[in-house]
């Protein structure tokens, strides 16, 4: 048996103000997380993402795929995204997380970082399709598998940073005003050579 030196335990809000990021700690054991990592590496329809920045088209190193209750579509960063029908393992996890959090999700954006040089830059998940017209908070549940990576939060106005290391099997939930006041990123690191998968369960409002 391998002993983890540090096993994240459930913590309340890790942000000091203007939003809520709840750290649920490890919600799966190591064997389950390993199994899901191998399964998702091989059974999700990974594709490099296309983004348009200042009129230039870029293909990302990171691979993504989007699943949902229906074949939702939206235009984001200049390209059209289309949701795939749920993968069965992903759907099981979605139900598990809905039970833990007590919030429904109808879609999941999955990210694959093959090594530490693949990352995602500063952004907020504040596209109109994620924001309720009825004024409900945006709730995003993020579950990680594989290599431990650092997620950073940066306040949009105050000079404040919060870092959190995300381990395999660890769940965090971004809610409240988080997307309005904070940006987040996954930073690059030369130290990580192994893959990481992150699943972000979201509630999508079709336009
Ligand atoms: O990989 C992660 O943990 C974050 C991914 C992310 O921010 C996103 O998909 O919007
Ligand atoms: Fe994000």
| Ligand 1 centroid distance, CA of 1 (Å) | 31
Q: CA 5 → CA 2, 8, 25, distances in Å? A: 9, 10, 14
Closest among 177, 176, 169 to 199, alpha carbons compared: 169
Kindly state if the Cβ of 125 falls inside 6 Å of ligand 1. yes
For residue 31, pLDDT beyond 80? yes
Closest among 181, 168, 169, 95 to 138, alpha carbons compared: 181
Residue 4: predicted pLDDT: 53
Please state, rounded to an integer, the average pLDDT across all residues of the chain.
92
Average pLDDT over residues 24-37: 97
Helix residue ranges, H only, the chain: 30-43, 88-101, 178-181
Residue 6: predicted pLDDT: 63
What pLDDT digit, counting tens, does each position of 118-153 carry? Answer: 999 999 999 888 888 888 889 999 999 999 999 999
* SS3 of the chain: helix, strand, coil, percent, to 5: 15, 45, 40
Nearest atom (ligand 1) to Cα of 185: 7
pLDDT confidence band for 73 (50 / 70 / 90)? confident
Give me the domains of the chain, ranges plus CATH numbers.
Answer: 11-202 (2.60.120.590)
For residue 5, pLDDT beyond 60? no
Angle at which helices 88-101 and 30-43 cross, to 10°: 140
| Ligand 2 centroid distance, CA of 2 (Å) | 31
Kindly state if the Cβ of 184 falls inside 6 Å of ligand 1. yes
Please give the Cα distance from 176 to 105 (Å, whole number).
Answer: 16
For residue 3, pLDDT beyond 70? no
- The residue count of the chain comes to 207
Residue 1: predicted pLDDT: 46
The residue whose CB lies within 8 Å of the most ligand 1 atoms, and thus the one to mutate among 49, 120, 147, 201, is 120
Residue 182: predicted pLDDT: 98
In this prediction, does ipTM exceed 0.95?
A: yes
């Amino acid at each position: 048996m391998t002993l983890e030196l540090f096993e994240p335990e459930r913590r309340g809000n890790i942000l000091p103000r203007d939003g809520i990021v709840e750290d649920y700690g490890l919600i799966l054991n190591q064997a389950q997380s390993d199994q899901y990592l191998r399964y998702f590496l091989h059974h999700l329809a990974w594709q490099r993402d296309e983004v348009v920045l200042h009129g230039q088209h870029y293909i990302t190193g990171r691979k993504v795929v989007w699943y949902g209750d229906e074949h939702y579509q939206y235009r984001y960063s200049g390209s059209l995204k289309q949701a795939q029908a749920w993968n069965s393992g992903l759907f099981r996890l979605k139900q598990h997380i809905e039970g833990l959090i007590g919030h429904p999700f109808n879609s999941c954006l999955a990210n694959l970082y093959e090594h530490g040089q693949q990352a995602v830059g500063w952004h907020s998940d504040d596209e109109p399709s994620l924001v309720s017209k009825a004024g409900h908070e945006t709730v995003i549940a993020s579950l990680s598998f594989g290599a431990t990576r650092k997620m950073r939060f940066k306040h949009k106005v105050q000079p404040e940073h919060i870092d959190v290391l995300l381990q395999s099997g660890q769940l965090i939930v971004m809610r409240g005003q988080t997307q309005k006041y904070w940006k987040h990123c996954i930073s690059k690191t030369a130290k990580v050579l192994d893959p990481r998968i992150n699943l972000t369960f979201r509630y999508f409002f079709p336009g």
